[in-house]
């Protein structure tokens, strides 16, 4: 019989593993283990080789065999813990990381592993402590630096995360993923020029990386950098379709699809995939919590609103009068603010308007969900959807028996844990209703909330704003990421048709404004005919906006509060009713404002309507007078009316739950 040299086989396995030949390494290690079954280092390396081959159960069995022989071998406890963590056995993983540290408290990988478990369950502060412990041992421990940066982002400490990612890139300049992560932090800070450079470098280093193009696309949108946008957008859409087909987590945020040509079916599939995989990570926690719902013993319905935007934000601007108008006799109103964003005077206003108001900042999702569940709500209404700092990680734990989405995202979330979506028939007509996962609650006018704003008493002069005294002033005060090259080209065509006209926009980044000016110049339009307005307090902004003649809405991602601002300023808005919910908010608003003729069906009608109004000063003046007059008569501006319809909807949701009726779509007016 051939004599096997276990040391030679062990070294052969190590060499094969170093060269990426995990299968050959397994063969070497098994022969070594057969000759020397008590050498725990062989068990350890065989475990690593099997893990590389994704043979996780087999790897875990080998690790356990090794620990039976040497229960004090700390690295093998770490290896087994890593495997158990991948298999969602977080309790087992935690136990083995702790056993490793009992044997050797200087194991950075064990501290890092404990941090990973805490991070997965939303304990970002506690996870940070573990990562700091790991980095005290090994300041170049890449996994700990990366995950600590992720924790810092969740805790709202973007600049600390940025410094960590810069360190990571300096340590590993040839790893594309790290450049991509750096770009994401820069993007979150609004530093899109730097973000684009980081994303492009990431793709240079790893052209196959699928999670970079969606972020690059988003920053290019903010820059209005459209030269290679079609190819990048198509790549994002193609990768999304492929991953959906293969049942893999998508790499694009559903919100990022809003500004693209993605159809309603793809958006629903993407939303379902995103929420499914997010919820899947918390399955064990949700099952452990196992929330049950006590039969309602309170006379007044308890309705909660949860949002990261109870602060100076467009959602708060629209919502603030609505909460003030809600019925206090038949309802108790609960407000929950989430996320690590700023708290300000608007937050204080909401604190005074809700019957009960809780700041959930600093609570992990479990603690936040327990708090909400303890309030024994009838309905919990989400105001954020897929927007930044969303409450989805709390909602998926199902702290309330009935959960609905309203206003903040305004489109399907594709989830099983949000049962209702509050919309209207213009915003979500039948052909789009088929692409919503939720039961739809149809409000009779517009789903859009509006609050009567403060407007500075006297508008400035056109001259003071850099506008011509004569000539049509077209305006669009949306963020530049909502622009698309085709619609911007149409706006430039209007300038070409109308001598002396200008396009009035908000100031953006220097790069974005330069790109827009360059686009105009390339189309033969004097770049000086693009006038950029500096940021101003809201009352002053509304006063100056009255100087505009016509507001031109965006196409894929229409305006919400920006459209309301124009109407409050007495300026008519032309909007196109597109093929997605995000492309129909403007149409919904205009119908409820008594201005349905300004919601057109296509680009040709959009262009024609703009030229018609610009060339007929008398008709435009009459229209502007009607915009102002409708502020006292149209349903859009009747906030008490909207409050009553929403309350009727909440009553019906609660009734269906209490009686055990099947969840289904309904019109709120049916139960008024």
pTM of the model: 0.86
DSSP 620-653: HHHHHHHHHHGGGTSGGG-HHHHHHHHHHHHHHH
Q: Is 284 exposed, middle or buried (0-12, 13-18, 19+ CB in 10 A)?
A: middle
Every domain of the chain with CATH number 3.40.50.11380 lies at 291-418+642-671
Class of domain 291-418+642-671: alpha beta
CA 120 to chain centre: 18
pLDDT of residue 362: 82
Taking the CA atoms of residue 316, residue 322, residue 323 and residue 329 in that order, the dihedral angle to the nearest 10 degrees is: -170
pLDDT of residue 671: 45
Please give the mean pLDDT across all residues of the chain. 94
* 423: β partners: 442
pLDDT higher than threshold 80 for residue 281: no
Rounded mean pLDDT of 408-419? 95
pLDDT higher than threshold 90 for residue 286: no
pLDDT of residue 243: 95
Per-residue pLDDT band for 503 (boundaries 50, 70, 90) equals: very high
CA 442 to chain centre: 24
Q: pLDDT per residue over 158-205, tens digit each? A: 999 999 999 999 999 999 999 999 999 999 999 999 999 999 999 999
User: Phi and psi for 106 in degrees, rounded to 5?
Assistant: -105, 25
How far apart are alpha carbons 556 and 579 in whole angstroms?
A: 9
Right CATH for 463-637 from 3.40.50.720, 2.40.70.10, 3.40.50.300, 3.40.50.2000: 3.40.50.2000
* 358: β partners: 336
Rounded mean pLDDT of 425-449? 97
* 186: β partners: none
pLDDT of residue 672: 43
Using the structure block, give the residue that is written with the tokens 């079916």: 265
Closest CA to 189 of 165, 167, 205, 213: 165
pLDDT of residue 2: 62
Coil, helix or strand for 60? helix
How far apart are alpha carbons 269 and 327 in whole angstroms?
A: 37
How far apart are alpha carbons 41 and 274 in whole angstroms?
A: 40
pLDDT of residue 670: 47
Tell whether the torsion through CA atoms of 89, 91, 95 and 100 is positive or negative. positive
Using an 8 Å Cβ cutoff, are 644 and 669 in contact?
A: no
Half-sphere exposure of 480 (CA within 13 A, CB side): 26
Using an 8 Å Cβ cutoff, are 567 and 477 in contact?
A: no
pLDDT higher than threshold 50 for residue 368: yes
How far apart are alpha carbons 318 and 448 in whole angstroms?
A: 8
Rounded mean pLDDT of 498-519? 97
How far apart are alpha carbons 266 and 270 in whole angstroms?
A: 6
Q: pLDDT per residue over 200-240, tens digit each? A: 999 999 988 889 999 999 999 999 999 999 999 999 999 99
Rounded mean pLDDT of 649-660? 95
pLDDT higher than threshold 70 for residue 1: no
Give Cβ neighbours of residue 352 (< 8 Å, ≥ 6 apart).
Answer: none
1, 12, 65 from 31: Cα distances, Å: 14, 10, 16
Instruction: Indicate left, alpha or beta for 13 from its phi (over 0: left) and psi (-120 to 50: alpha).
Output: alpha
DSSP 164-196: HHHHHHHH-TT-HHHHHHHHHHHHHTT-HHHHH
Query: Burial letters for 492-520: b for 16+ Cβ neighbours within 10 Å, e otherwise?
Result: bebbeebeebbbbbbebbeebbebbbebb
Every domain of the chain with CATH number 3.40.50.2000 lies at 463-637
How far apart are alpha carbons 209 and 101 in whole angstroms?
A: 35
Rounded mean pLDDT of 255-266? 94
How far apart are alpha carbons 206 and 571 in whole angstroms?
A: 49
Rounded mean pLDDT of 314-343? 94
Report the greatest alpha carbon distance in the chain: 105
Count the Cβ atoms, other than its own, within 10 Å of residue 487: 19
Percent of the chain with pLDDT over 70: 99
pLDDT higher than threshold 80 for residue 571: yes
Tell whether the torsion through CA atoms of 541, 546, 552 and 557 is positive or negative. positive
pLDDT higher than threshold 70 for residue 285: yes
* 473: β partners: 502
């Amino acid at each position: 019989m051939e004599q096997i040299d276990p040391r030679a086989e062990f070294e052969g396995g190590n060499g094969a593993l170093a060269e990426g030949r995990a299968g050959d390494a397994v063969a070497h290690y098994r022969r070594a283990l057969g000759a020397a079954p008590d050498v725990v280092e062989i068990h350890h390396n065989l475990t690593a080789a099997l893990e590389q081959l994704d043979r996780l159960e087999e790897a875990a069995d080998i690790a356990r065999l090794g620990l039976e022989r040497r229960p004090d071998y700390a690295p093998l406890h770490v290896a087994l813990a890593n495997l158990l963590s991948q298999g969602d056995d977080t309790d087992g993983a935690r136990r083995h990381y702790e056993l490793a540290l009992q044997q050797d408290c200087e194991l950075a990988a064990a501290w890092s592993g404990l941090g990973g478990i805490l991070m997965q369950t939303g304990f970002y502060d506690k996870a940070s402590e573990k990562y700091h412990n790991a980095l005290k041992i090994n300041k170049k421990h890449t996994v700990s630096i990366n995950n600590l940066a992720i924790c810092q982002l969740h805790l709202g400490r973007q600049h600390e995360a940025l410094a960590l990612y810069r360190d990571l890139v300096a340590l590993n300049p040839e790893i594309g993923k790290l450049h991509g992560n750096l770009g994401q932090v820069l993007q979150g800070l609004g530093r899109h020029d730097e973000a684009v450079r980081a994303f492009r470098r990431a793709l240079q280093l790893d052209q196959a990386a699928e999670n970079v193009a969606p972020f690059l696309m988003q920053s290019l949108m903010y820059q209005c950098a459209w030269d290679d946008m079609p190819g990048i957008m198509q790549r994002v859409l193609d990768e999304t379709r492929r991953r959906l087909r293969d049942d893999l987590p998508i790499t694009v945020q559903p919100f990022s699809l809003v500004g693209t040509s993605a159809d309603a079916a793809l958006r629903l599939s993407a939303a379902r995939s995103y929420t499914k995989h997010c919820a899947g990570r918390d399955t064990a926690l949700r099952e452990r919590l196992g929330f049950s719902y006590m039969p309602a013993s309170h006379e007044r319905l308890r309705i909660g609103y949860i949002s990261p935007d109870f602060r100076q934000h467009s959602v708060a601007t629209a919502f603030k009068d609505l909460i003030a108008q809600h019925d206090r006799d038949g309802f108790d109103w609960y407000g929950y603010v989430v996320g690590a964003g700023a708290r300000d005077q608007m937050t204080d206003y909401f604190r005074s308007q809700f019957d009960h108001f809780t700041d959930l900042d600093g609570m992990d999702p479990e603690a936040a969900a327990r708090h909400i569940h303890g309030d024994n709500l009838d309905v919990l209404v989400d105001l954020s959807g897929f927007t930044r700092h969303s409450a989805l990680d709390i909602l998926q734990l199902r702290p309330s028996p009935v959960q609905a989405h309203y206003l903040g995202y305004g489109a399907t979330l594709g989830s099983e844990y949000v049962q209702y979506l509050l919309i209207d028939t213009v915003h979500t007509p039948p052909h789009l209703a088929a692409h919503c996962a939720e039961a739809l609650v149809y409000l009779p006018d517009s789903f859009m909330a509006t609050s009567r704003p403060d407007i500075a008493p006297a508008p400035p002069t056109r001259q003071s704003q850099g506008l011509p005294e004569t000539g049509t002033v077209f305006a669009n005060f949306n963020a530049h990421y909502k622009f698309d090259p085709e619609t911007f080209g149409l706006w430039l065509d209007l300038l070409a048709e109308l001598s002396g006209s200008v396009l009035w926009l908000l100031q953006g980044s220097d790069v974005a404004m330069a790109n827009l000016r360059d686009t105009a110049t390339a189309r033969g339009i004097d770049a000086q005919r693009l006038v950029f307005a500096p940021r101003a307090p809201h009352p002053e902004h509304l006063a100056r906006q009255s100087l505009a003649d016509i507001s031109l809405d965006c196409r894929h991602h229409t305006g919400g509060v920006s459209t309301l601002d124009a109407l409050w300023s007495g300026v008519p808005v032309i909007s196109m009713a597109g093929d997605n919910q995000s492309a129909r908010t403007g149409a919904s608003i205009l119908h409820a404002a008594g201005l349905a003729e300004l919601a057109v069906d296509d680009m040709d009608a959009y262009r024609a309507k703009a030229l018609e109004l610009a060339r007929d000063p008398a008709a435009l003046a009459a229209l502007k007078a009607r915009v102002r007059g409708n502020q006292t008569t149209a349903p859009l501006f009747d906030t008490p009316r909207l409050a009553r319809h929403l309350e009727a909807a909440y009553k019906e949701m609660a009734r269906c739950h209490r009686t055990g009726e099947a969840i289904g779509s309904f019109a709120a007016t049916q139960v008024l």
